[in-house]
Copies of this chain bind each other. A is one copy, B any other.
């Protein structure tokens, strides 16, 4: 994605080449995946006019559509990189480059300087290309369909982990991965925003289900809160109050708006409940489940066309209950496109 744009930035910033690496076969380096489609072990080099991977022999079957060299294991990774590229200024993502890898890099590129390209990469990735938008749109569609199926089958689940297993199973059956370990939080567990599903009976009350898939490398992220049992009047009121705020927050998102203004508007709307809203309003989605922009109190990000992000206000009463409603939206020229479309009126089971 956007290699040419990136290369012209390298030129402008007087960076000779950018270097990305990944030492873990099961976790991709997001930038490497973005620029090369490759998610295995190895290194990616992008010069002002070339782009190639260096991969161990065991990983060559995973490389597609990009030039690659086989990493000769007689050399350390960056030592081998040096055989393939020269330069005085190396662009590295200092948000992910570790201190020991940096030390190793300096060992082999003694006189080179490094430039932090984390912001460059972050900014490129935050504005989605049409190809990415199509993928994310599909990821959201898949998520909707799985959530719908989950709710219509909900009576057969006995435990929080049953729900998580169902979500995982449906995801895998469609050839997707899960974007993250889903949250299935019933009863007072719902007050813990990142609750890990437990092997315990589903409790009555609100049940927060936060779930997303990874489809063709891109994440969706959707939360619905349903009710197990019969909700009290005031619980329904609380849910609808939050739902109204969530809808307003979505409608408030427009090109040019400041992210912190969106968050703070929700804080204001929450009134006396503000203190029970303990996280950010939203975050960008893409290859990573958390990308730019940040929709938080102190964010300096500004909304731009092509950004895809979540809107997810929540209210959490410790040891009592929790409600969160989250959609993924895309900023388009004329306003917004809501990507996730699962029913938002309170579902009772």
Spell out A's residues near B (CB within 8 Å): 24-27, 40, 56-59, 61-62, 73, 92, 94-100, 102-103, 116, 118, 159, 161-162, 164-166, 168-175, 177, 180-181, 191-199, 278-279, 289-290, 297-298, 316, 318
Is B181 within 8 A of A161, CB to CB? no
**Alpha-carbon separation in the docked complex, A135 to B278 (Å):** 34
**Alpha-carbon separation in the docked complex, A278 to B72 (Å):** 12
What B residues does A61 contact at CB under 8 A? 191-192, 195, 318
**Alpha-carbon separation in the docked complex, A62 to B289 (Å):** 21
9 extra A-B contacts, CB within 8 A, seeds A25-B194, A56-B278, A168-B169: A27-B27, A61-B318, A73-B297, A94-B100, A97-B98, A165-B170, A165-B172, A174-B199, A175-B197
Is B191 within 8 A of A290, CB to CB? no
What B residues does A174 contact at CB under 8 A? 161, 199
Is A58 within 8 A of B193, CB to CB? yes
**Alpha-carbon separation in the docked complex, A165 to B170 (Å):** 7
**Alpha-carbon separation in the docked complex, A94 to B106 (Å):** 15
**Alpha-carbon separation in the docked complex, A207 to B191 (Å):** 44
**Alpha-carbon separation in the docked complex, A174 to B162 (Å):** 9
Is B97 within 8 A of A194, CB to CB? no
Is B58 within 8 A of A194, CB to CB? yes
Is B193 within 8 A of A175, CB to CB? no
Contact of A173 among B27, B98, B162, B278 (CB under 8 A): B162
12 contacts between A and B (CB under 8 A): A25-B194, A58-B316, A59-B194, A61-B318, A94-B100, A94-B103, A97-B99, A98-B99, A165-B169, A165-B171, A165-B172, A168-B171
What B residues does A95 contact at CB under 8 A? 98-100
**Alpha-carbon separation in the docked complex, A118 to B197 (Å):** 31
Is B94 within 8 A of A62, CB to CB? no
What B residues does A26 contact at CB under 8 A? 180-181, 194, 289
**Alpha-carbon separation in the docked complex, A268 to B233 (Å):** 74
Task: Name the residue on B nearest A194 (C-beta).
Answer: B25
What B residues does A171 contact at CB under 8 A? 165, 168
Q: How far is the CB of A42 from chain B (nearest CB, A)?
A: 12
Is B164 within 8 A of A194, CB to CB? no
What B residues does A196 contact at CB under 8 A? 62
What B residues does A166 contact at CB under 8 A? 169
**Alpha-carbon separation in the docked complex, A331 to B72 (Å):** 32
Q: How far is the CB of A300 from chain B (nearest CB, A)?
A: 14
What B residues does A297 contact at CB under 8 A? 73
Is A290 within 8 A of B194, CB to CB? no
Q: A99-B97, A100-B95, A161-B175 are in contact. Are A62 and B192 (CB under 8 A)?
A: yes
**Alpha-carbon separation in the docked complex, A172 to B96 (Å):** 30
Is A98 within 8 A of B98, CB to CB? yes
**Alpha-carbon separation in the docked complex, A170 to B174 (Å):** 17
**Alpha-carbon separation in the docked complex, A277 to B94 (Å):** 35
Task: Name the residue on B nearest A314 (C-beta).
Answer: B58
Is B24 within 8 A of A290, CB to CB? yes
